[in-house]
Structure 1
């Protein structure tokens, strides 16, 4: 059964998942955040089949999460680099990592110890906050009904 696409969905989460929500795409983005840029390096680090990696990189480029940059003479080599849109996924990836470390930790090794490059101090847990910086849980928020966008008459 084919998965329904939510390109026109009112749900921004569904639309975002269309762009980066599958297993391999998020891992490609994660490794791009670690500094991986070349096709062969993504393939080696992820252990991913060439056809799947090619598809995910193409989709991430099409969705402007990554950009393909020619770096070799006469376009003989290219690299994949995060765009601003891709870099904006950083807090999502960190939050997902923190959630995974809490609820599905590795039995063999300790979680990655992410640190602030400038101070060397550990980073805080990602949390949703109100406008005054106070933490919020799912029970503390509601969805405000919005006025739907109307199509302009031609």
Structure 2
């Protein structure tokens, strides 16, 4: 395969599969709320202003997909907690939040700031290489065929 041949990106589309599950607007907003501690159906409905039938359908889908688990906290009452799989989407949601703050800014500034608990400062998250710690950018990586690559 030549250096410029990127057909492998389309043969096993991980982004497409992920978007099938979480690409709908309400789903990402539900996940955002759960990352910030909202766990109960009524709280999610109030915080998001989401129609209840839509919320029920999205929560059911997220539970079935293993991103959330439905946990009883009282008789006939339950809440939704992130699973490890759901927690792993945190960087994606934060990347979207940062992009929105940068390229679609509110006149008053960012509506949410993230304070890094370890150092106490406002976080400036970025995507980094797990090997060297360097920032990952679109121009700083080269897509290569992986184990799921299928030739056509």
Do the structures match in fold with TM over 0.5? yes
Smaller-chain TM-score bracket = 0.7 to 0.9
Ranges in structure 1 where 5+ consecutive residues have no aligned partner = 1-8
Question: In the TM superposition, what are the counterparts of 1:51-130 in structure 2 within 5 Å?
Answer: 51-73=53-75, 76-129=76-129
CA–CA distance in 1 between the matches of 2:121 and 2:101? 19
What is aligned with 1:30? 32
RMSD: 2.0
Ranges in structure 2 where 5+ consecutive residues have no aligned partner = 1-10
Q: Deviations over 1:51-95 (max 9, x none)?
A: 00000000000111100012212xx10110100011111111111
Q: Is the 8 A contact 2:67 2:82 kept in 1?
A: yes
Q: Is the 8 A contact 1:94 1:126 kept in 2?
A: no
Q: Indicate how the Cα distance of structure 1 residues 115 and 10 shifts in structure 2: closer, same or farther if over 3 A, else same.
A: same
Structure of greater relative contact order (alpha carbons < 8 Å, 6+ residues apart): 2
Question: In the TM superposition, what are the counterparts of 1:134-153 in structure 2 within 5 Å?
Answer: 134-146=134-146, 148=148
Partner SS, residue 57 of structure 1: helix
**TM-score if structure 2 supplies the norm length?**
0.82
Partner SS, residue 71 of structure 1: strand
Q: Give the number of aligned pairs.
A: 140
What is aligned with 2:8? none
**TM-score if structure 1 supplies the norm length?**
0.81
